[in-house]
């Protein structure tokens, strides 16, 4: 079961690594980040209703509020802060700060759960993976500039996913992954509505959706990257534990680099290759359990 969960986690991270490419296609076509989030989460929610419809509410109002928190932290707030960060800061800054999610998650969990504290080998492995991830992101370009507004937003994105994982650890043993996933999508969609009302209205140029590249990428983001991958990730968290599962997120930058090279012809430098080796080595150290003698 552990191997199956690990493979599922790698699959999810590979898909999430590709979403940057799909999102870039949609942004170029004319959709805004909030529009992309709304449509992909709405499609995912409607589809999840087919698989999870027996239970409507959580067991108590405290859990219901926690599910609302999951929808905001792992949905609207995460995607808005990450995409808004790109408006004010360098992409490399944003990628590295958001890529610190496993470190931040491990720190948060160690504060609240003694059993989730990382051991020495895991700490070293996580740090090596972080350095490797940074090298992959930079890919031969040392262009890091301090942009407080954008950098803080990127750090907020990493923090929101860390708190998402923290709440997931509390709820995942008590509810099915399908129910949790449906709740995340529902509250993600609801919590983005104030943004459309107060900041920027939803893009409704329906002629745009007649383009195959637009509806094709939206369907992919909605049904594969959102519905399937959020369900699998919530299942993985319950099987591997939050720290081990989250460390696999370091691979996301590797898959983004690889897919960008294949689809967008982005170059891969020696620095990126070296970083990939460090990333994988560190991730294996951080994720692999120590064998008992």
pTM, rounded to two decimals: 0.85
Q: Choose between 174 and 273: higher pLDDT.
A: 174
Q: How confident is the model at residue 273 (pLDDT cuts 50, 70, 90)?
A: confident
Output the CA–CA distances (angstroms, integers) from residue 50 to 47, 70, 74, in the order listed: 6, 21, 22
Contact in structure between 267 and 33 (CB atoms under 8 Å): no
pLDDT confidence of 292, banded at 50, 70, 90? Answer: very low
Q: What are phi and psi of 288, to 5 degrees?
A: -70, 135
**Model confidence band, residue 182 (pLDDT cutoffs 50, 70, 90):** very high
pLDDT at 293 over 50: no
């Amino acid at each position: 079961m552990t191997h199956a969960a690990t493979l599922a986690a790698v699959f999810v991270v590979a898909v999430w690594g590709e979403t940057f490419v799909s999102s870039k296609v949609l942004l170029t076509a004319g959709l805004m980040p909030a529009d992309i989030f709304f449509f992909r989460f709405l499609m995912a929610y409607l589809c999840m209703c087919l698989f999870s419809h027996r239970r409507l509410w959580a067991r108590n109002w405290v859990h219901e509020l926690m599910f609302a928190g999951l929808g905001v932290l792992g949905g609207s707030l995460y995607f808005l802060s990450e995409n808004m960060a790109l408006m004010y800061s360098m992409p490399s800054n944003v990628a590295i700060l958001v890529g610190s999610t496993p470190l931040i998650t491990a720190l948060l969990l160690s504060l609240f759960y003694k059993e989730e504290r990382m051991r020495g080998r895991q700490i070293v492995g996580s740090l090596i993976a972080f350095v490797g991830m940074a090298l992959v992101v930079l890919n031969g370009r040392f262009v890091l500039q301090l942009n407080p507004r954008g950098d803080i937003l990127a750090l907020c994105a990493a923090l929101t996913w860390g708190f998402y994982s923290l709440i997931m650890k509390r709820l995942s043993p008590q509810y099915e992954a399908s129910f949790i996933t449906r709740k995340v999508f529902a509250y993600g969609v609801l919590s983005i509505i104030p943004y459309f009302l107060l900041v920027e209205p939803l893009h409704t140029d329906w002629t745009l959706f007649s383009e195959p590249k637009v509806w094709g990428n939206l369907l992919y983001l909605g049904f594969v990257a959102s519905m399937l991958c959020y369900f699998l990730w919530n299942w993985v968290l319950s099987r591997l534990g939050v720290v081990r599962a989250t460390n696999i997120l370091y691979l996301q930058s590797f898959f983004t680099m690889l897919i960008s090279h294949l689809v967008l012809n982005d170059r891969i430098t020696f620095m990126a290759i070296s970083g990939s080796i460090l990333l994988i080595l560190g991730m294996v150290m951080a994720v692999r359990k120590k064998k008992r003698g």
